[in-house]
Copies of this chain bind each other. A is one copy, B any other.
Amino acid sequence: MQNLFRMLTLIYAHPYPLHSRVNRALRQAVDGLSGIRTRDLYALYPDFHIDVAAEQSALAESETIVLQHPMRWYHTPALLSLWFEKVLAYGWAYGHDGAGQHARALQGKRLLWAVTAGGSQTAYSASGYNQHTVHEMAAPIRQTALYCGMEWLEPHVLYGTGQLDAVALARAAQDYRGRLVQLLGEKA
């Protein structure tokens, strides 16, 4: 009966995993949940040579894909940018395959963007020092998902990571776990 429920691939992209406090705590809160498989991009590909077939295979077997990373210059860390370029390839995620058929490997899958931001929610507003909301910053990522026919879920955003004390971080980690548990529990 397992395949009535969702399989979830967590794409984890922290450029300096040993220095991570917040993303590591979030990840630890969900590692080992039934149905989750985590791919730690910077651990797998420290030289930026992505195994495209392995990545595509993991995505093909999942109904839900989570991109978890800290914001880097208002976008993804560079290795995740490269992952978009290499893995979401013409002839697989979009366009036409070798047989002339529409390539839609990700069609109908759900994408959750789980991002942590150093700035507060106030900083991410028209009057804040970042001048844009996180929703506005997400335009390239959201449209990438939509272009591939994926369902864009409401992002999971954790603000003010530099100010989080241990209690707030533990609560944030449980919130994240709750969100993923919910996604895993919904029938496909």
Contact = CB atoms under 8 A, between A and B. Distances in A.
A146 interface: yes
Given A78-B79, A78-B81, A85-B15, A137 B143 contact: yes
A76 B77 CA distance: 12
A115 to B, nearest CB: 12
Chain A, interface size category, equals 20 to 34
Contacts of A137: 139-140, 143
A163 interface: no
A5 interface: no
Given A48-B48, A85-B73, A139 B132 contact: yes
A144 interface: yes
A75 interface: yes
A82 interface: yes
A75 B74 CA distance: 11
Nearest to A132: B139
Contact of A74 (B130, B131, B132, B143): B143
Nearest to A77: B85
A72 B81 contact: yes
Contact of A144 (B73, B81, B129): B73
Contacts of A173: none
A100 to B, nearest CB: 19
A136 interface: yes
Interface in A66-91: 72-79, 81-82, 84-85, 88
B15 A74 contact: no
Given A72-B81, A73-B140, A132-B143, 8 more contacts: A48-B78, A72-B84, A72-B85, A73-B144, A75-B81, A78-B82, A130-B147, A137-B139
